[in-house]
């Protein structure tokens, strides 16, 4: 599907979404509580068939966190970017997509480790890179580390 067709089909599916077409891919911005059912449809509906999650990350935008999912379909060869906005930065929570794409497990662990986003229904949520007793979430913009030597 082209960008336009994707956009129309997604608007039909979820009228409340907003789009951003400035970049290379079609960016779909949704609220964090709509994520799981929306992702399930993207995976299961044959006209979308997004079977391959190739990049999962998070961005700290100071007043909110943004989860970013890059999806591609191996059958149709079209890409899409889903951005889920998490407004609560103190106790951020979002549904895990591990049940849809298995690759999400370690990637979500990484996001939990570095951003502190808690994934609900994740099979084994743990700090992936840092020690269990590490304080703070390093990739947050408000992270302070006294030992870090700044340039």
Partner 1 sequence: MEERSVKMDIKKREEKGGLSFPGQLQETPDGGFLVTKLDEAINWARSNSLWPLIFGTSCCAIEMMSAAGAKYDWSRFGFEVARASPRQADLLIVSGTIVMKMAPVLKRLYDQMPDPKYVIAMGACTISGGPFFYNSYSVVKGVDHIIPVDVYIPGCPPRPEALLHAMITMQEKIKHEAYFRKTK
Partner 2 sequence: MLLEQNHITKEGEFVINMGPQHPATHGVLHLKVWLDGETIKKVEPHLGYIHRSIEKMCERLSYRQFIFTTSRMDYLSAHINNQACALVVEKALQLEVPPRAKAIRIIMAELTRLASHQLWWACMGLDLGAVTPFFYAFREREAINEIWEETCGARLTQNYIVPGGVMMDTHPNFRKRVKDVMKQIKDKAHEYEELLTGNVIFQERLKGVGYLSREDAISYGCTGPTARASGINSDIRKLFPYDGYEQIKFDEVLNSGGDCWARYLVRIEEMKQSVSIIEQLIDIIPEGDFQVKTKNVIKLPKGDFYQRVETARGELGVYIVSDGAASPYRCKFRSPNLSNLSAIPKIAEGAKIGDLVAIMATVDLVIPDIDR
89 binds, among partner 1, partner 2, none (CB under 5 to 8 A by kind): none
Closest distance between partner 1 and the C-beta of residue 151, in Å? 4
Q: Which helix (H) or strand (E) holds 13?
A: helix 3-13
CA distance 19 to 102: 27
CA distance 119 to 97: 9
Any contact of residue 19 with partner 1 (CB under 8 A)?
no
Any contact of residue 148 with partner 1 (CB under 8 A)?
yes
Which of residues 4, 5, 33, 145 is near partner 1 by CB under 8 A? Answer: 145
Any contact of residue 63 with partner 2 (CB under 8 A)?
no
**Interacting span for partner 2 (CB under 8 A) from 4-12, 30-38, 88-96, 129-137:** 129-137
Cα 143 to its chain centre, rounded Å, is: 21
Any contact of residue 54 with partner 1 (CB under 8 A)?
no
CA distance 60 to 90: 12
Three-state SS sequence of 19-61: EECCCCCCEEEEEHHHHHHHHHHHHHCCCCCCCEEEEEEEEEC
Closest distance between partner 2 and the C-beta of residue 62, in Å? 10
147 binds, among partner 1, partner 2, none (CB under 5 to 8 A by kind): partner 1
Q: Which helix (H) or strand (E) holds 108?
A: helix 104-115
In the complex, which residues of this chain contact partner 1 (CB under 8 A)? Answer: 129-131, 138, 143, 145, 147-151
């Amino acid at each position: 599907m082209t960008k336009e067709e994707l956009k129309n089909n997604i608007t039909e599916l979820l009228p409340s979404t907003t789009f951003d077409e400035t970049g290379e891919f079609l960016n779909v911005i949704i609220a964090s509580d709509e994520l799981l059912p929306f992702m399930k449809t993207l995976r299961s509906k044959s006209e979308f068939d997004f079977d391959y999650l190739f990049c999962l990350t998070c961005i700290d935008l100071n007043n909110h966190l943004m989860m970013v999912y890059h999806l591609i379909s191996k059958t149709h060869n079209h890409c899409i970017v889903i951005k889920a906005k998490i407004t609560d930065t103190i106790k951020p929570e979002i549904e895990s997509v591990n049940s849809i794409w298995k690759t999400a497990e370690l990637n979500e662990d990484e996001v939990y480790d570095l951003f502190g986003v808690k994934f609900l229904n994740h099979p084994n949520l743990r700090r992936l890179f840092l020690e269990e007793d590490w304080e703070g979430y390093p990739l947050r913009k408000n992270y302070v580390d006294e030992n870090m030597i700044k340039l």
